Amino acid sequence: MLIVALDPPINVGSEKWVTERYKVLRDIVKGFKIGLPAIVKYGINWLNNLFKDYDGLSIADLKLADIGDIMALTATMLRNVGFNAVIAHAFVGYEKGIEVLAKVCEKEGIKLILVVSMSHEGSKEFIDRHIDEFVDTAERVGSWGVVAPATRPNVIQYIRSKVGSKIKIISPGVGVQGAEPGAALCAGADYEIVGRAITYSDLEKVRELAHGLLESQKKRLLLCRG
């Protein structure tokens, strides 16, 4: 139940950093998330073949927050280079916003993931005051998943109690941001997103770190679910 965030550090000169980590991890994790750091640094065309024969989740994390037509256009472009899921902010609203994006995602076979709460403290300032509305939007458009913070398991529990098993909960914040592996899963998340705690080490150690993380998830799950 692990998704790896591939955000290259500032001093890495080539997209090989991403592709090598993807290759050593693809058979043991459920998916990958690629966001602005990799796309700003290396563009998008190098991604063209990366996910070609990959069955897992390939999530484009540009946290779309625009009018519906432009988000839909971007999502289609992301689909065309091999992503099968996109993340968007729920706060742009339904009408001519998420509504349009959701329709195009359905048509193109893209999984839509809406941000309903974030892992940093600042999420409490504005975003978390509207969790109910954001979750309603996710349900209304039939969103495949939502992002909710591993750093605040009570928020995950609350969202799970609202959505039942209809919507996947994807939780960042494990490792560098402080949450322990498995804590979000115990609170009701379907996947934990882990980036730097796995990826910011030498390539030779990346697989071992991911294995360790998967083991810790399992142990924690055994304790909380039996």
Q: How far is the CB of 115 from ligand BMP (least distance, A)?
A: 6
Asked whether position 61 contacts ligand BMP by CB under 6 A, the answer is yes
- Rounded to the nearest 5 percent, the helix, strand and coil shares of the chain are 50, 20, 30
Asked whether position 222 contacts ligand BMP by CB under 6 A, the answer is no
Asked whether position 65 contacts ligand BMP by CB under 6 A, the answer is no
Taking the C-alpha atoms of residue 67 and residue 83, their distance in angstroms, rounded to an integer, is 21
Of 189, 32, 170, 51, the residue nearest 113 (C-alpha): 170
Tokens of 160: 């799970």
> Nearer to ligand BMP by C-beta: 68 or 145?
145
Q: How far is the CB of 194 from ligand BMP (least distance, A)?
A: 5
Asked whether position 190 contacts ligand BMP by CB under 6 A, the answer is no
| Residue 143 exposed, middle or buried by CB count within 10 Å (0-12, 13-18, 19+) | buried
Q: Does residue 63 carry a catalytic annotation?
A: yes
3-state secondary structure of 109: coil
Looking at residue 212, its amino acid is: G
The whole-angstrom distance between residue 58's C-alpha and the CA centroid of its chain comes to: 9
Asked whether position 149 contacts ligand BMP by CB under 6 A, the answer is yes
Are the C-beta atoms of 50 and 23 separated by less than 8 Å? no
Among 17-25, 49-57, 67-75, 174-182, the segment contacting ligand BMP (CB under 6 A): 174-182
Asked whether position 145 contacts ligand BMP by CB under 6 A, the answer is no
Choose the catalytic residue: 16, 30, 41, 63.
63
Taking the C-alpha atoms of residue 172 and residue 31, their distance in angstroms, rounded to an integer, is 13
Pairing outcome for strands 2-5 and 31-35 = parallel
Asked whether position 176 contacts ligand BMP by CB under 6 A, the answer is yes
> Nearer to ligand BMP by C-beta: 138 or 197?
197
- Can you tell me which of 23, 96, 124, 196 binds ligand BMP, judged by CB under 6 A? 196
Q: Which amino acids are annotated catalytic? A: 63
Point out which residues bind ligand BMP (CB under 6 A).
5, 7, 33, 35, 61, 118-119, 147, 149, 172-173, 175-177, 193-197
